[in-house]
A = this chain, B = another copy of it.
Amino acid sequence: MFDTEPDSTEVETRATNDRLPRGGVRSESVRVANLSTILRCLHFSGPMSRSRLVEETGLTRSSVAALVGELSDAGLVSEHAATPNGYPGRPSPTVAVNADRNMVLAIKIEVNDIAVAIVGLGGEVLYRIRVDRYRDLATVEQTVTDIATLVADAHAAVGNAPLLGASVAIVGLVRRSTNTLVIAPNLGWSDIALGDLLQHATQLDIPFAVANEGDVAALAETRRGIAVGQSHVIFLSGEVGVGGGIVAGGRVISGRGGFAGEVGHMPVNPDGLKCGCGARGCWETEVGVRSLLRRTGRKPDGGPAALDEVLQAAAEGDADVLQALDAQGDWLGTGLAGLIHIFDPEMVVLGGMFRRVYPYVIEALQRSLTDRLLATTVGDIDIVASTLGEDASLLGAAELAFEPLLNDPLAFALR
């Protein structure tokens, strides 16, 4: 369940320990770290017995009992009588998170749709709603108003119970420290205090964290999706733009301001097309939705309906469409080769539109990788389609909203 092989090759450049304050370990921080470990364990892996918690955490039996007691007093977990397991001795009771008393709000904003969910501790989706939207209507004001309506419905559906927090995944570059959208070229938005706007519109007295959808989707894939247990993962999300989220050494990299992972703007073709960002020949001009529509002779701005049409034609064996998908796969492999040289991943997860074209591009993609990879062979890397699909960024937003609680359970518990 946990990554039991620590990344012995990764070396910290400084003396601080990220989980514990100021380098030195004092007893109060030990208690917080241990509460955090127990709660993470249950949140990531589901209900388990106290004995299993002892095994998983390396803590003593009495420590686990005391820590579970504290989490239980805070309403975060409950203990349930164990079902007899046929072995002699008294079975250990099962500990589980209280999903319905510890909920967060998750929101995603993409080019073609918005979605809202209420997610319980442990990752259970308690309520979800998704609506299509169209680019012409996508003003910030309208979007915020629409989301506030969806949020009110969702919150009512769970009895307007108190929420731990909220998080928004969006297809754009986000300054995490201020929860501001800096720029979303494919929405045409820039400099939006999105966290504040949504908090105001929803009238909810909880923090709204804003994050890049690729980053949180990568988080979701490693916690809830196909990449569980992997420490080195490249997540690629293809839509109009191409986003990414990178997990290196068990952490989603964010960079200084939260802008890391913008793999769509790798320069791959000096003679290429003009990109939404203003530069020429960025990777997304060769592998995004528009390039696929263009390659099949369709209008690049055809949207989801045109993409559906292309996929339908591919399923029916349309030779021109299959050739266009082959070219798409070749360019996917070219850029991916660069990323594999940079990150040396265990797994590449293809999400968004890439998940849907996967069966038609994988052969050309692997051929292109084989031509380019230096020390790694294609067979060494799992190149897989996302299993979370459209939900990845929504589930990732929920995970992000749970982070303060997971890091310091008693400080952020509702009571």
Contacts and interface: CB of A to CB of B under 8 A. Distances in A.
Contact of A3 (B9, B16, B57, B264): B16
Contact of A57 (B9, B24, B266, B271): B24
A36 B254 CA distance: 27
A374 B185 contact: yes
Interface string A305-346: 000000000000000000000000000001101110111111
Contact of A9 (B24, B60, B63, B176): B176
A269 B270 CA distance: 6
Interface in A27-60: 30, 33-34, 36-37, 40-41, 44, 56-60
Interface in A263-284: 263-271, 277-279
Interface stretch (A118-126, A140-148, A245-253): A245-253
A408 to B, nearest CB: 12
Interface string A344-355: 111000000000
Q: What number of copies of this chain does the assembly contain?
A: 2
A23 interface: yes
5 contacts: A2-B16, A10-B252, A14-B229, A263-B341, A265-B338
A267 B37 contact: no
B375 A259 contact: yes
A176 to B, nearest CB: 4
A375 B183 contact: yes
A232 to B, nearest CB: 5
B268 A270 contact: yes
A260 interface: yes
A56 B23 contact: yes
Interface string A132-173: 000000000000000000000000000000000000000001
Contacts of A277: 372, 374
A90 interface: no
Contact of A261 (B19, B261, B342): B342
Contacts of A269: 269-270
A387 to B, nearest CB: 16
A257 interface: yes
A379 interface: no
A72 to B, nearest CB: 18
A270 B24 CA distance: 51
Contact of A265 (B57, B185, B247, B374): B374
A9 B254 contact: yes
A257 B222 CA distance: 19
A9 B266 contact: no
Contact of A10 (B244, B251, B334, B376): B251
Interface in A368-404: 371-372, 374-376, 399-400, 403
A256 interface: yes
Interface string A8-23: 1111111111111111
A203 interface: no
A93 interface: no
A344 B175 CA distance: 11
Given A270-B269, A343-B255, A33 B37 contact: no
A295 to B, nearest CB: 16
Contacts of A176: 8-9
Given A58-B24, A59-B24, A13 B247 contact: yes
A108 interface: no
A258 interface: yes
A6 interface: yes
A80 to B, nearest CB: 22
A256 B345 contact: yes
A7 B254 CA distance: 9
